[in-house]
Amino acid sequence: MKSVGRKKKAYASAGVDVDLGNRLKRHLQLLVKQTHGPQVLGRIGGFGGLFRANFSGLREPVLVASIDGVGTKLKIAFAMNKHDTVGADLVNHCVNDIAVLGARPLFFLDYIGCEKLDPDTFQQLLRGFSRACRSAGCALIGGETAQMPGMYRKGEYDLAGCIVGVVERGKIIDGSRIEPGDAVLGLASNGLHTNGYSLARKILFEKMRLKLGSQLPGSATTVGKELLRVHKNYQPLVTKVPTGLMKGMAHITGGGLIDNLPRILPANCDAVIETKSWKAPAIFQILRQNGGVDPEEMYQVFNMGIGMVVIVAPQNAVKVMAILRAKQIGRIERGTGTTRLVF
């Protein structure tokens, strides 16, 4: 008579290996604990992550939360069989989204939905999460991994991340102090970051017939390496700016400069962006020229080399630019709360 332990379980036969998931989760303890400080209570694998809220030094702490994904950049990770960088992308994207409000990250949770759990892929993703959380001073306190046969193509998965941070209420950066005459500063991006990949893939792979291993025209790097460049985390840099100098910040993600800047502008102000004040990285020039994309649309789909925007009073521009290694890319004028591009 066969023992129950040797018989393949019905759920595993249907494509969901619960035992494999449990084994992998036991082995991730070290990676996760590397992101923990004394604020993290309990253990990984519970029904919820525990974080002891100790906001010493803050008179009126405000929690800031955000959730996001990395879009079709995942398609590049699948094809390259390299998954740690998109794990880091997810963390950094979320950290930047709350950093623009002046918040520092406290903890992060991830969600992985997949067709079938692959041990190597899972380990790579967790290494990426762990590395980026450590760099951001953020605790990875939990997550969810769902095996869903029939929902995803073989070897594919989806990612989402949720982050919670904290900011002193009186130090929230919300754009309300922005006024005409202010300077618009731009912090350089590291390529596409995590946006515009559906259009980029169409141009590079369908129109230009390039492969992931092809050398990017005019560059020493390959297409695959260029597209997997890690999304920058700007939070450690912006914390070096003295309190009160930054009137507004915008993370330049989906929607580009055109759609993201209006999210922080007062209704009577426009952001006038001088597009010739910086040189867009080669990847954006390649995409525009070979894709026949309208120049204005480029600034709505891609970050065009600017990953974060900071708005300051004109008398503080030089000082803040030196701290952030930023360039002045425009100014604030009277208007209706929109972005105006000057080519």
Domains of the chain are 4-171 (3.30.1330.10), 183-342 (3.90.650.10)
Q: What percent of the chain has pLDDT over 70?
A: 92
The pLDDT of residue 6 is above 60: no
Instruction: Supply the pLDDT for residue 43.
Output: 72
The candidate with the shortest Cα–Cα distance to 165, out of 309, 54, 66, is: 66
Single pTM value for the model = 0.91
**Contact assessment for residue 249 and residue 264, using Cβ atoms and an 8 Å cutoff:** yes
Q: Is 67 helix (H, G, I), strand (E, B) or coil?
A: strand
List beta partners, residue 311. 184, 248
What is the C-alpha separation between 22 and 24, in angstroms, rounded?
5
Distances (CA, A) of 292 to 92, 214, 295, 343: 31, 21, 9, 17
Rounded to the nearest 10 degrees, how much is the dihedral formed by the CA atoms of 326, 337, 165, 82? -60
List beta partners, residue 1. none
Following DSSP, what letter does each residue of 186-249 receive, concatenated?
Answer: EEE--SSTTS-HHHHHIIIIIIS---TTSBPTTSSSBHHHHHTPPPP--HHHHTTSPTTSEEEE
What are the residues whose beta carbons fall under 8 Å from the beta carbon of 209, sequence distance 6 or more?
A: none
State the average pLDDT for the chain: 92
The pLDDT of residue 74 is above 70: yes
What is the C-alpha separation between 219 and 227, in angstroms, rounded?
13
Instruction: Supply the pLDDT for residue 5.
Output: 47
